[in-house]
Structure 1
């Protein structure tokens, strides 16, 4: 695969380049002969404005190499970690610290869960293969705003818990109700520094309720709200410790601590 040309199209922008291979170190774990793409061209505002050196893809592998890898293979990085005996389980978990002034920001744990960063137990739902691209989709039930149903339930609707998205996104009718509930005036975007009287949602039959107002972004930011599938980005994952278990094809949520 080394030297083969490659391209990825994201929701905002794209990259193209060629495959290379090297050692990748994560804390004290070193993954040998890890395939990755050396990008020679990037398009889109994300790559012009964002300050990062690379992207660690954690979706299903076929998103990155079309027709080269079986559809249900786990992310290449975690797959190689398990194959090389660095971790036992094909799972990883995210904790996002939404306190902007704290020294610690995000914790990403491979092959386990840090019990210091969640309360109670995780509630798990099955992953499903998405219709458009291979991310960690799961079936979604109703969405509640102010403890009132939005009428979103359609029987086969899906959602994505996506650490690569900083916002919440979804169908226009649903987002319009959320914007109205929090007093947002924008049509395609809204300033996320808002307080919601009640922010509720149902993931399958699992419903998390907030009794007091919560800020879901502590600093100014914008949530672009223009898609058909619900995307639960960092503003959601900041409230809920999230586990992606590719070994059992489930994703779990627990209240973040």
Structure 2
């Protein structure tokens, strides 16, 4: 085992809401030292400085199945959870404290997003974000390009099984992340009622959230949350300040998924 002294701030009393509804026991911050009040408050930083780890690195696996737990590995990555070699990209501006990486370009269905050409966009790899974050000014266009009309009863449609365009994110260092509709889609279809004709269309949409401009991050910032982290195992090299991506070795999916409850929107 590895032991290291870590300073913490504790709350003696907490409200039942929302914490009573959470299934997890706590939140552990794994950002770089500069996000801490002091380096001695940085859990993994203290582990790395203790010289007890095989590598100053940790790996993160996010399971698609409730039958197989997600996991984090300290001191390296878990080779049992990867289906390809790790490809590394350097952390951009590590003094900010985020696992932030540079984006060379983003394309949807082979068409590049002009707003992210020539290094104008960055991305923060964030295990605490359940969606894929896109810059607020780009969100509508990205939603439109990833949305698709589907046939059938929306109550029986699972959008992760419906065909859709490929979303590709190219990072510094030649790392290429490719997401299909099974990765970025919300499972539930959405009913869209056209006001002029009162006709209903069934639409599949992406799991996107807006990211507000942040001058500190520099450029248009994306957040690589669960849609990326379910497909790719990620490793975080504390010593050389880089992030590694490899295809995750996921457990077998069930042969049939129950379609979720659809939503309805009037436009």
Do Structure 1 and Structure 2 share a fold, with TM-score over 0.5? yes
With a CA cutoff of 8 Å and minimum separation of 6, indicate the structure with the bigger relative contact order. Answer: 2
Report the CA distance shift for 1:86/1:46 in structure 2 as closer, same or farther (over 3 A).
Answer: farther
Residue 223 of structure 1: how far off its partner (Å): 3.9
Bigger-Rg structure (1/2):
2
Could you tell me which of 10, 32, 35 is aligned with 1:63? 35
Q: Does residue 1:199 correspond to 2:204, yes or no? A: no
Q: Does residue 1:94 correspond to 2:50, yes or no? A: no
Could you tell me which of 203, 206, 210 is aligned with 1:225? 210
Report the CA distance shift for 1:183/1:241 in structure 2 as closer, same or farther (over 3 A).
Answer: same
Query: Structure 1: how far apart are the matches of 2:141 and 2:86?
Result: 28
Gaps of 5+ in 2: 150-157, 189-205, 214-220, 250-267
Matched pairs, number: 212
Higher helix share: 2
Report the CA distance shift for 1:223/1:53 in structure 2 as closer, same or farther (over 3 A).
Answer: farther
Could you tell me which of 65, 76, 79 is aligned with 1:112? 76
Map Cα deviations across residues 213-243 of structure 1 (whole Å, 9 max, x no partner). Answer: 5244685696422334111012211111101
Gaps of 5+ in 1: 1-28, 186-191
Q: TM-score, normalised by structure 2?
A: 0.67
Q: What is the alpha-carbon root mean square deviation over aligned residues? A: 3.3
Residue 119 of structure 1: how far off its partner (Å): 1.8
Report the CA distance shift for 1:217/1:197 in structure 2 as closer, same or farther (over 3 A).
Answer: closer
Q: TM-score, normalised by structure 1?
A: 0.69
Q: Describe how 1:238-257 pairs up with structure 2 within 5 A.
A: 238-257=230-249
Higher strand share: 1
Query: Structure 2: how far apart are the matches of 1:86 and 1:206?
Result: 30
Look up the match of 2:48. Answer: 82
